[in-house]
Structure 1
Amino acid sequence: MIRLESIGKQNGQQIIFIEASAALQKGEKVGLVGPNGAGKTTLFRLITGEDLPDEGQVSVDRGTTIGYFSQDVGDMKGRSAVSEVMDGAGPVSAIAAELKELETALGDPDRADEMEELITRYGEVQGRFEELDGYALDGRAREVLDGLGFSQEMMEGDVGALSGGWKMRVALARILLMRPDVMLLDEPSNHLDIESLIWLESFLKGYDGALLMTSHDREFMNRIVGKIVEIDGGTLTSYSGDYEFYQQQRALAEKQQQAQFERQQAMLAKEVAFIERFKARASHAAQVQSRVKKLDKIERVEPPKRRQTVQFEFQPAPRSGEDVATLKNVHVRYGNKTIYEGLDFQVRRKERWCVMGVNGAGKSTLLKLVAGATQPNEGTVVVGGTVKMGYFAQHAMELLDGDETIFESLEGSFPQAGQGSLRALAGCFGFSGDDVEKRCRFLSGGEKARLVMAKMLYDPPNFLVLDEPTNHLDIATKEMLISALAQYEGTMLFVSHDRHFLAALSNRVLELTPDGVHNYGGGYTEYVASTGQEAPGLRG
């Protein structure tokens, strides 16, 4: 359906693609992977025709419809969420709009002389609308919005009043309702909670078109794709299988290439040693010349490209007392809405609680109460005297000073630390070389999250309270963070929609439901096994 043949692309000084080729076949579900800045979004833009290659060609089969979801959703306002979604459904939405205009015209006494033509046209348009299953469109749009977590009230409300994250969901719903031949989804799992994520997973599994997507959620990708296309060093390499299989194949290919490189280096060293030893002897001149020619003709094996993966290691945190946080008879109300009524909850040393609950259940509120960022209407929240807390929430990213560079921001937080130590810290969180001179105002959401995380973990607290810490983080940074937190000796209380993060780090689950609060003694994996569901309100 879509072919990229020997494409070349350069943006300013940066070479994005060199003779890169790949294809997307009918019905294939493909994951697009590669380091940040490798060219994933550029590839989407080349396929949609928003950008053109400098060399080679991108061909799309005639008549193929493409739906492209990107992180740049544009301006949305003045219409309900459901109308905005229906508007993306292709030809049927244009016909629905004409049908509405004709209905208005038919009831307009000033247009009585046009009545015959209007009735004829109305019959034609209505027939076409029925052919395209238009009357089911409103219901289908609501079904998609419901799957993505919208309440009826939000569906009917002005889309302009929604936050950026919810507008993203509207833009995604438009593409899903359109059901094009090919879906290009750039990070569709960002901004989704775990329930919406699982619904989207199921929707995409049942979608019979071709899919090319990027995602920082490896579990999500694993469950959907059957092929991986990797962008690295300007080339495109295809691997059959899911993300897990791709990782294994890539590691195997690297190992083989390294062995081949080492064998060739040993052979070359022998040849060079022979030439050096005998080049001055006339009796060996012919042999020396023959070996020099042989060396010139040998095609050199390159060593495998090394992905920079820096591990972060925690300094030992000071030990806290056994009682880390205690909530007794806590009541929280916002206006007429009751979030908690008599909540009792205790966090003890070395426990790692993940908090589960549907939207509005009070997950972030619980973390804010423990962190002291909000107060209960009634009841008490007591944090142990020897507890040193680190609280990560999305708003923390907005508190960075836009005029400071990354390095200045780290230096301001840790004036006693040496330059080398701070550069090493920056490197662990993906800021190497000149990156540390970037001003905070120019950082992406992911870069801000990494910087805030670096500042929080350098001088380690013994109690980490983390609200969606992996939002915006790419797979490599997430892996680094999971592996670092697995070694962490302190206590944790966190909310996350990333199932890999939940399974790897939790040893307790607190589930907030309309029926009350439930505790599970094991971690997320045990929670899934005992409840038969991956998230509250979903039956598996």
Structure 2
Amino acid sequence: MSLLTLSDIVIRIAGRTLLDRADLTVDPGRRIGLVGRNGAGKSTLLKAIAGDLAIDGGEIRMAARARLGQVKQEAPEGDSPLLDIVLQGDRERLALLAEAETAEPHRLAEIHERLRAIGADSAPARAAAILAGLGFDAAAQARPIAEFSGGWRMRVALATALFAQPDLLLLDEPTNHLDLEATLWLETWLAKFPGAAIIVSHDRGLLDRCVHAIAHLDRGKITLTPGGFEEFVRIRTERAAQQAAMAVKVAAQRAHMQAYVDRFRFKASKARQAQARLKAIAKLPAIEAVVEDTPTRFEFPQPQQIAPPILALDRAAAGYDGRPVLRHLSLRVDMDDRIALLGANGNGKSTLAKLIAGRLDPLTGEVRRGPKLKVGYFAQHQTEELVPGQTPVDHMARALPRATETQVRSQLARFGLDADRAGTAISSLSGGEKARLLLALATRDAPQLLILDEPTNHLDIDAREALVRALADFEGAVLLITHDPHLVELVADRLWLVADGTVAPFEGDLDDYRALLAERARPANKTEAAPSRREDRRERAEARAATAPLRRRAKDAEARMAKLAAERAKIEAKLADPALYVPGRAVEVTAAQTRLAAIGRETEAAELEWLEAAEALEAAGS
């Protein structure tokens, strides 16, 4: 029996039809990712399912006595401790405990039986575990909610929804207020969640690892595809190709028969055949045209190359009001570095970003910068600095006072802010459009170092992929702070761990970090088998740590080979241009050929290093 059924749903907002006779069925225990472009109606649909929005047509049916859970839009307030707020999320448990105070003996037995069935005794421990996974330690769980900022309060709202153990859980962008550590924890929790869920998310990793199917909301209809997001993209691409091929085939058949009709329809001897072909044309299947969305593209201006290191920290400390948050910082950044910062919120990731960006002076030690270094800095809180009544053109013109209007609009267009959106007041822009403006402002001077602090919070999946492609083409250094594991895995080739008041390179990849977090989160077990299990886990962790340098070496070699291949392609294209072989450019030709030969040697060395690392890894594994 279905848990939730949507039949012929119609929803209109401000005269615009978001859902047009859409259907969806959710079975018990089935987790579905709901995807679609910004503005397609995903959040609106969740509100309709929750009963917070009236539908204009169709029917929404929930199974009898099914419990619905969702994250409230308003952050919790008051003086209650976090743990108490989360415990209040299980209404049935609270009602049973209250009834038990005055119940008759025969009813009291029923109440205690039901309390045992729903695990009431373990409720405080479960609530504490969920809060811990979302970044609240034991001391924080005892503090009143009023002491926390809005983002942390929304984590409590999420914890409350998860704790309630509903039959159907509705989640709308659940990772927006989480750091990477909490996001990884949520993925693990959702993968084990026994109930059904509808999850609106732009996080590809979460959609690949935590759902059974993808529901695509597009042009008012919902199409369900089994598997995660990667499988959805593959199937959708194949369907589009098949649809396009069928459309071409049918069009050719139609044109062939129509040509016969046009030629012979008024010739008596051919009239019957012409009429037969007219009927055949009418019976040809109507192939819906493949309507491709305009692809999202971002483009970072390419920086001027400068000598390494472009930035170095020497025994530096950083903090506020004379109190250090980070100490003993001795790090360097080169032009080809792609660094992601790991560590829970509050450990100092943003403090390090501000120090490197020059927005924070070191308390002690030294920060050495290349004399021509330009730094581009992006942070979500910068949206508060935008002037609501002004347009993106106004902001960019102020940031580039010597630029022409064409140059101003060209920089905005690099990030998909076309003429209409560039002239729209900030107050009327979406969160994703504001993020694009901040990216355009951060890169206006073609910086050698780009610092991105949570750049994807308001970007849809297409825009996130555009950001990944743009960063792959960017020839400067990148320092990345993000809760998006997909972005880290595709962009970063170095990881720095911000923890215990300092920053150090993390020898391993994101899988190693997941394993480290899981090991830290796993509660101690006092059974006899526990020591051996802990020993096994320790040995596996030590084995991964031992091979981490080899895996890093192989990954670095792969990255070098990719960069060399891209450089080779550019030089070969240049050498293939006849315009290069004119008087006065002989030196340029010689330099290109010399570099091409050097690339060949460097590629061979990188390939050899990769092979050696791969063989060593294989030997270590065996």
TM-score, structure 2 as length reference: 0.76
Alignment-derived partner of residue 87 in structure 1: 88
Alignment-derived partner of residue 190 in structure 1: 176
Q: Which moved more, 1:281-290 or 1:125-134?
A: 125-134
Paired with 2:109 and 2:513, the residues of 1 have a C-alpha distance of 56
Alignment-derived partner of residue 61 in structure 2: 59
Amino acid at match of 1:51: L
**1:183 Cα shift?**
0.6
Paired with 2:326 and 2:475, the residues of 1 have a C-alpha distance of 31
Alignment-derived partner of residue 337 in structure 2: 351
Alignment-derived partner of residue 6 in structure 1: 8
Q: Which secondary structure does the structure 2 equivalent of 1:368 belong to?
A: helix
Alignment-derived partner of residue 509 in structure 1: 495
Change (3 A) 1:263 1:362: same
Amino acid at match of 1:65: R
Amino acid at match of 2:246: Q
Q: Which moved more, 1:459-468 or 1:337-346?
A: 337-346
Change (3 A) 1:157 1:324: same
Cα contact 2:334–2:477 (8 A) shared by 1: yes
1:398-437 C-alpha deviation (Å, 9 max, x unpaired)? 1111111234434444466676776665565454564444
Paired with 1:333 and 1:425, the residues of 2 have a C-alpha distance of 34
Paired with 1:470 and 1:531, the residues of 2 have a C-alpha distance of 21
2:169 maps to 1:202: no
2:43 maps to 1:19: no
Q: Which secondary structure does the structure 1 equivalent of 2:443 belong to?
A: helix
Alignment-derived partner of residue 42 in structure 1: 44
Q: 1:321 aligns with which of 278, 287, 307?
A: 307
Q: Residues 469-480 of structure 1 correspond to what in structure 2 (within 5 A)?
A: 469-480=455-466
Paired with 1:459 and 1:291, the residues of 2 have a C-alpha distance of 64
Q: Which moved more, 1:261-270 or 1:420-429?
A: 420-429
Alignment-derived partner of residue 220 in structure 1: 206
Paired with 2:5 and 2:103, the residues of 1 have a C-alpha distance of 45
Q: 2:133 aligns with which of 135, 138, 147?
A: 147
1:436-468 C-alpha deviation (Å, 9 max, x unpaired)? 443212334333222101222354211111212
Q: Which secondary structure does the structure 1 equivalent of 2:353 belong to?
A: helix
Q: 2:71 aligns with which of 66, 69, 72?
A: 69
Identify unmatched segments of 5+ residues in structure 2: 523-540, 542-622
Paired with 1:538 and 1:455, the residues of 2 have a C-alpha distance of 40
Change (3 A) 1:354 1:342: same
**1:245 Cα shift?**
0.6
**1:184 Cα shift?**
0.9
Paired with 1:431 and 1:235, the residues of 2 have a C-alpha distance of 27
**1:187 Cα shift?**
0.9
Q: Percent of aligned pairs with the same residue?
A: 32
2:342 maps to 1:341: no
Q: Which moved more, 1:378-387 or 1:429-438?
A: 429-438
Alignment-derived partner of residue 255 in structure 2: 269
Paired with 1:412 and 1:80, the residues of 2 have a C-alpha distance of 46
2:355 maps to 1:369: yes
Amino acid at match of 1:36: N
**1:146 Cα shift?**
1.0
Change (3 A) 1:273 1:310: farther
Change (3 A) 1:44 1:409: same
**1:197 Cα shift?**
1.2
Alignment-derived partner of residue 578 in structure 2: none
Change (3 A) 1:128 1:345: same
Cα contact 2:127–2:163 (8 A) shared by 1: yes
Paired with 1:373 and 1:396, the residues of 2 have a C-alpha distance of 13
Paired with 1:140 and 1:538, the residues of 2 have a C-alpha distance of 13
Paired with 1:203 and 1:529, the residues of 2 have a C-alpha distance of 18
Paired with 1:204 and 1:83, the residues of 2 have a C-alpha distance of 23
2:151 maps to 1:165: yes
Amino acid at match of 1:224: C
Alignment-derived partner of residue 453 in structure 1: 439
Change (3 A) 1:320 1:147: same
**1:256 Cα shift?**
0.4
Q: Which secondary structure does the structure 2 equivalent of 1:82 belong to?
A: helix
**1:500 Cα shift?**
1.5
Q: Which moved more, 1:38-47 or 1:290-299?
A: 290-299
Amino acid at match of 1:258: A
Paired with 2:143 and 2:444, the residues of 1 have a C-alpha distance of 44
**1:219 Cα shift?**
0.8
1:312-360 C-alpha deviation (Å, 9 max, x unpaired)? 2333211122121111121235579642232211112222222222333
TM-score, structure 1 as length reference: 0.87
Cα contact 2:76–2:153 (8 A) shared by 1: no
Identify unmatched segments of 5+ residues in structure 1: 103-116
Alignment-derived partner of residue 391 in structure 2: 405
Q: Which secondary structure does the structure 1 equivalent of 2:19 belong to?
A: strand
Cα contact 2:335–2:477 (8 A) shared by 1: yes
Alignment-derived partner of residue 484 in structure 2: 498
Cα contact 2:326–2:501 (8 A) shared by 1: no
2:33 maps to 1:31: yes
Cα contact 1:356–1:511 (8 A) shared by 2: yes
Amino acid at match of 2:26: L
Change (3 A) 1:209 1:408: same
Question: Which one has the bigger helix percentage?
Answer: 2
Paired with 2:358 and 2:445, the residues of 1 have a C-alpha distance of 20
Q: Which secondary structure does the structure 2 equivalent of 1:501 belong to?
A: helix
Amino acid at match of 2:36: G
**1:270 Cα shift?**
2.4
1:375-405 C-alpha deviation (Å, 9 max, x unpaired)? 2221111221111110112222211111112
Q: Residues 88-107 of structure 1 correspond to what in structure 2 (within 5 A)?
A: 88-96=89-97
Paired with 1:327 and 1:421, the residues of 2 have a C-alpha distance of 35
Change (3 A) 1:7 1:515: closer
**1:170 Cα shift?**
0.8
Cα contact 1:358–1:537 (8 A) shared by 2: no
Cα contact 1:314–1:457 (8 A) shared by 2: yes
Paired with 1:530 and 1:7, the residues of 2 have a C-alpha distance of 43
1:271-291 C-alpha deviation (Å, 9 max, x unpaired)? 333344445655544444443
Q: Which secondary structure does the structure 2 equivalent of 1:323 belong to?
A: coil
Amino acid at match of 2:286: R
Cα contact 1:34–1:232 (8 A) shared by 2: yes
Alignment-derived partner of residue 211 in structure 1: 197
Cα contact 1:357–1:536 (8 A) shared by 2: no
